[in-house]
Structure 1
Amino acid sequence: MLRVIGQVAKSSKSVNGQKELIRCLSAAQAQPQKTKKEEKQALREKAKHNQSFVHNLFRGQVEHSQVFPYPIALNQEQTEYVSAFIDPVTKFFSEVNDANKNDMNAEVDENTLESLWELGAFGLQVPQEYGGLELNNTQFGRMGEIIGMHDLGLGIVIGAHQSIGFKGILLYGTKEQKEKYLPKVSTGKTYAAFALTEPSAGSDAASIKCRAVKSSDGKHYILNGSKIWISNGGIADIMTVFAQTEVTDENGQKKDKVTAFIVERGFGGVTNGPPEKKMGIKCSNTAEVYFEDVKIPVENILAKEGEGFKVAMNILNSGRFGMGMTLGGTMRLCIQKASEHATQRTQFGKKLDSYGGIQEKLARMACIQYVNQSIAYMVAGNMDLGSNDYHLEAAISKVFASEGAWYACDEAIQILGGMGFMRDTGLERFLRDLRIFRIFEGTNDILRLFVALTGIQYAGSHLKELQRAFQNPATNLGIIFKEAQKRAGSYIGLGGVDMTGLVEPSLKDSAKLCGESIDMFSRAVESLLIKYGKRIVDEQFLLNRLADSAIDVYAMTCALSRCSRSLKANLPSADHEKLMTETWCVEASDRVRINLRKIHSADFNENYKRMSLISKNICENHDIVQTNPIGV
């Protein structure tokens, strides 16, 4: 149905351990060990400028090409195309799908799934030549917003299928692989899954035990092992599976490297356990998957042998923005329910919405939803406009959305009071469903380290570039003077980062707060590099403060950019957006100041040591350590 409508519309731990952890998160680092010469060349490559705002934030530079003006990734035809889908998708969730029934039965009934296939919902980004709707990332995200307002469990069924399940085929598949598999997963009622996690390989993907051995004739691999917590694992007939393989490098040495495979259940030897019993997203099938002597043709390798890390991380990176879109819809639902209750409920002779405490809750929920939406559409827009430098921004979007949605739902329940705690209100289901979003597709804890350490590495390569410049100043005066000018202005308060020229004039005070935050941030990065060097990977207390500051700065920038666009276009909501942007920038810049002060504070650094000791005592005891106050 959606396919037809769309076509009509269109025609109308240790240091080494930490390094390994980051290697698993960054596709760029998932490469064979390099010689010293190759390492130097890699360093020079990393010192080169890229277009990522967050990368350059760590250097104290405003790379505004991807943030100002706010990216508009849809032309009129594309806007009309996605608009044609909104009513039928909304109608499906209001008239066909029963989210509470899905949750209580811990499965989606066949009639509902059949309706989804008829809508074309399982092939949203598949090219039309293979039977899909061919939505770009911005259009796909708009559909995600609708899903997020209604049923996150069903959203996982849909998302696990296409955002990660067969995404590898879209990104890396050969012409033959796409012709064979994409029609099946878009119109052929064949479900897909992404099989990476193992009992010993969660965030540490390098510890994968699943192994594929090439046959003597070189025509196929034999796969053995198991995967856990696989979304759609019990219903998928096509899986993207990651396994260790023996690879011969350019020096003739044999090493184990992870390779990505397209595995069909029909190959034989693929089985699964019963559906897991979960806290939330109960209707999505989550199961262990077992592989016993599974014979995989060599032509089913994705990308190249040994490039599984790159495949896995780029699949996850390319899909994280969708979480921001989807959870933006969830936040909107929470705001709707909370505001409706606040305007109807009377306590102590006054409506709830007249009380300052309730007003503050609603305002913060609205600001978070606005900023989250601004970030998510910023990332999607840049992806659609051809950017390849969005990985840190996508990670930030995932962290911000999953934590913001939890906050909004929790506050909505608080505003509704006892009514919010009741099942029939619907919020308790959303709260349970939301909890997993801070865990899967990269835990927020790991993604914070990813943002901080990747950014620091980029800043560090710049410092090395400066060191080389000073070794031969006569031929590098431009680099040296440019850096000296930037630092002088920043440190004495006469210059530094000035963002006022990038925003609509009435937002200049908010832009000044953002610019000051960038100045403070870059100085903090440099001081940490000077103090700790490579040992910074062990300082997770400090890295988390740094990551939170980067998140706040990027969030301010996205809001400023979007609001500037709205004010210049004189949109009906522009004044309201300005209120939210100004409010956000005041509070976010204050959080940046506090977090960066903690990085430099001797008291807080000492406190981090105390926390480390407290944790050690608890872990040794496997319990609290203190005795009961009354001694029994």
Structure 2
Amino acid sequence: MSSTRIIRLSSRLTNKAANRSYAAAAINKEKPKDAPKKRAESTKAIYDSPSFGMNMFRGLFQSSQVFPYPVSLDDERRETLSMIIGPAEKFFEEVNDATKNDEEAKIPKEVLRQFGELGALGAVVPVEYEGAGLNNTQMARLAEIVGANDLAMGVVMGAHQSIGYKGILLYGNEEQKKKYLPDLATGRKFAAFCLTEPSSGSDANSIRTRAVKSSDGKHYVINGGKIWISNGGFADVFTVFAQTQVVGKDGVTKDKVSAFIVERAYGGVTNGPPEKKMGIKGSNTAEVHFEDVKVPIENMLGEEGEGFKVAMNILNNGRFGIPAACTGSMKHCIQKTIEHVTTRTQFGAKLETYGMVKEKIAEMLLRHYVTESIVYMLAANMDKGATEYQIEAAIGKIVGSENAWWVCDEAIQLHGGMGFMKECGLERVLRDLRIFRIFEGANDVMRLFVALTGCQYAGMHLKELAKKVQSGNLKLIFSEAQKRASRSFGMSSGPSMSGVVHSALTDSAKLASISIDQFGAAVESLLREHGKNVIDQQFLLRRIADAAIDIYSMVAVLSRCSHALEQNAPSMKHEQEIVDVFCKQASKRVMVNLQALKSDDSKKEFKQLAAMAEAVCKNGSLVQQHPLGV
């Protein structure tokens, strides 16, 4: 690509995306402290992210966060985890009744109290604040157990600690932590996260709840309402997001979102009746209203006007809990299916002997292995201090929620009519799982987030490349020309994974390498063609996201299996088969999605799809005539 074309592309790439939607706005997530604050004004080299997810959009293989497989628990943490797992499993066997919770649409307070006594409601809270002091890896294992037994309990748990009071952990000052965390970590009090409003679903910047500072400057008065708030009917402490008037450096006053810790005891906080839902009925979901609620000024979380950043980082930090719970749910469904197909006889043979049954079970294993691999890679990187994992966390949420839905659906199918019956228990799991593709970032929006975040990062580096090419860097010009020639003639094998991937997985690693290389080229081509208008190309962005999801999944399983092979794990051959099959399937999907970005047939199909949807929306109903004419 000529320097002129690179410069033209870079000049068209803007931050317009960040003002258009939740997905695009989240691109501006806080970077590590050592990252340049203003790239456009910085004279230093552009920031290089350590994130594998970010760099695959450039066609690069950044291995530091993915190889070797990062999971590692010392003996003390392993012992602590063992001490928690046993009581947690016993709790779900003897105390919690998921079926009863579903039927009565509530979890008794006494049950929640006993759950709190296990340390499960303050899992990652430091021990000095009466928490269990677990790290994210340990927390993921606990979430697995909860997900395998009662997803409604998982929602109560997650709404409380993964997002409800997570802002206090991430942004609270010492006074706020000392005041609130002990009661919240032990379950003496419960928390809720109040962001969603009737007019703001995925577009969190459009909230209307308002906080006005009092004339004496000692408190804010909050008025507004929130909907679909998990734990909203009984929470004592709320993390609330409201519009505040903020004076900018230019002296202009603007509305910007700020975050607050609000106590029900302040008065003026009310809630509606529990919502009637498809699933997770045991968890409480309700509207929460704020009427002239006086909140002390010291209860602001973070800086004034930075509430959107606070909200996005809370959601990003807690997002790994969803795929962790979904992993446990998948394991439960697979176990029930194995028990069924190995004992059920039809047409004179056990179900396990039939090819179609074997294929379904194998696909269940693939999806579970992929999700589990991503969950613990993500959690371990968070434990090691990674600050840029927004793409990986979003992918984990998408993969976990969609794989769990598929596995449960197929488990029901393999159980036949029995699976449809309440007594089997799978129908409750399916109903409970449906919400996970919607909340904490709807998967459609998460796909846009993945695609746009990666594209913006790639675009910034293309701009930097343009500057270097323009300066006459002959070595760079030759290198870029050689790389493009290799791709054009199908000679590029992609970035090498030798030395990090086990030799037994060489063929699968090559498929992943080629996918990364072709993906980077496709992203560059997409940005060159559409520039800043790429945000409007959702047909294409969806396919970019799906390709990114498959690539990260391939790398996650390659890393995990390499670790198993190096440790000579008893299951290593089984894991290798899973990885080989998955990488073959995933690499094919990647190429199909990338081909769709430039195929004339695909572009024509996208236009036809758009025209069909526009026609029925304009008509207000189906357009086609009934075949009977009446």
TM-score, length-scaled by structure 1: 0.94
* Worse overlay, 476-485 or 259-268: 476-485
- Find the partner of 2:561 among 551, 560, 563: 563
Sequence identity, in percent? 57
Counterpart code for 1:519:
D
Aligned to 1:417: 416
Any residues of structure 2 matched to 1:154-173 within 5 Å, and which? Answer: 154-173=153-172
Any residues of structure 2 matched to 1:219-368 within 5 Å, and which? Answer: 219-368=218-367
The 8 Å contact of residues 394 and 446 in structure 2, kept in 1 or not, is answered as yes
Q: How many residues get paired?
A: 611
Separation (CA, whole Å) in 2 of partners of 1:244 and 1:481 = 52
Separation (CA, whole Å) in 2 of partners of 1:472 and 1:178 = 52
Any residues of structure 2 matched to 1:458-497 within 5 Å, and which? Answer: 458-473=457-472, 476-477=473-474, 479-492=476-489, 493-497=491-495
When residues 280 and 43 of structure 1 are mapped into structure 2, their CA distance, relative to the original with a 3 A threshold, is farther
Distance apart, 1:47 and its partner CA: 3.7
* 1:585 partnered with 2:600: no
Aligned to 1:439: 438
1:357-415 per-residue CA deviation (whole Å, 9 max, x = no partner) reads 00000000001000100001111111101111101000000000000000000000000
Aligned to 1:8: none
SS in 2 for 1:296: strand
* 1:128 partnered with 2:127: yes
When residues 109 and 129 of structure 1 are mapped into structure 2, their CA distance, relative to the original with a 3 A threshold, is same
Distance apart, 1:30 and its partner CA: 6.8
Aligned to 1:69: 68
Distance apart, 1:494 and its partner CA: 4.8
SS in 1 for 2:40: helix
SS in 1 for 2:294: strand
Aligned to 2:515: 517
The 8 Å contact of residues 18 and 538 in structure 1, kept in 2 or not, is answered as no
The 8 Å contact of residues 24 and 309 in structure 1, kept in 2 or not, is answered as no
Separation (CA, whole Å) in 2 of partners of 1:356 and 1:315 = 45
Distance apart, 1:122 and its partner CA: 1.1
SS in 2 for 1:241: strand
Aligned to 2:572: 574
Counterpart code for 1:588:
A
Say what the alpha-carbon RMSD is for the aligned residues.
1.8
When residues 422 and 45 of structure 1 are mapped into structure 2, their CA distance, relative to the original with a 3 A threshold, is farther
Separation (CA, whole Å) in 1 of partners of 2:504 and 2:39 = 47
1:567-604 per-residue CA deviation (whole Å, 9 max, x = no partner) reads 01001111110010001001000111111111111011
Separation (CA, whole Å) in 2 of partners of 1:485 and 1:385 = 37
Greater relative CO, 1 or 2 (CA 8 Å, sep 6+):
2
Separation (CA, whole Å) in 2 of partners of 1:303 and 1:59 = 33
* Worse overlay, 271-280 or 15-24: 15-24
SS in 1 for 2:228: strand
- Find the partner of 1:628 among 618, 626, 629: 626
The 8 Å contact of residues 18 and 24 in structure 2, kept in 1 or not, is answered as no
1:342-367 per-residue CA deviation (whole Å, 9 max, x = no partner) reads 11111111111111100000000001
SS in 2 for 1:156: helix
Q: Which ranges of 4 or more aligned residues in structure 1 deviate by more than 3 Å?
A: 15-19, 21-28, 37-40, 42-47, 476-492
Separation (CA, whole Å) in 2 of partners of 1:125 and 1:187 = 12
The 8 Å contact of residues 24 and 452 in structure 2, kept in 1 or not, is answered as no
Any residues of structure 2 matched to 1:158-237 within 5 Å, and which? Answer: 158-187=157-186, 189-237=188-236
Separation (CA, whole Å) in 2 of partners of 1:607 and 1:562 = 38
The 8 Å contact of residues 246 and 253 in structure 2, kept in 1 or not, is answered as yes
* Worse overlay, 449-458 or 497-506: 497-506
Distance apart, 1:339 and its partner CA: 1.1
* Worse overlay, 503-512 or 491-500: 491-500
TM-score, length-scaled by structure 2: 0.94
The 8 Å contact of residues 29 and 312 in structure 2, kept in 1 or not, is answered as no
Aligned to 1:449: 448
Separation (CA, whole Å) in 2 of partners of 1:599 and 1:90 = 47
Separation (CA, whole Å) in 2 of partners of 1:478 and 1:376 = 41
Counterpart code for 1:103:
D
* 1:504 partnered with 2:502: yes
Which blocks of at least 5 consecutive residues in structure 2 are unaligned? 1-13, 31-35
Which blocks of at least 5 consecutive residues in structure 1 are unaligned? 1-14, 32-36
Separation (CA, whole Å) in 2 of partners of 1:193 and 1:310 = 18
When residues 45 and 245 of structure 1 are mapped into structure 2, their CA distance, relative to the original with a 3 A threshold, is farther
Distance apart, 1:484 and its partner CA: 4.0
Counterpart code for 1:178:
K
Separation (CA, whole Å) in 2 of partners of 1:140 and 1:484 = 48
When residues 61 and 100 of structure 1 are mapped into structure 2, their CA distance, relative to the original with a 3 A threshold, is same
Separation (CA, whole Å) in 1 of partners of 2:577 and 2:365 = 11
The 8 Å contact of residues 84 and 118 in structure 2, kept in 1 or not, is answered as no
Distance apart, 1:319 and its partner CA: 0.7
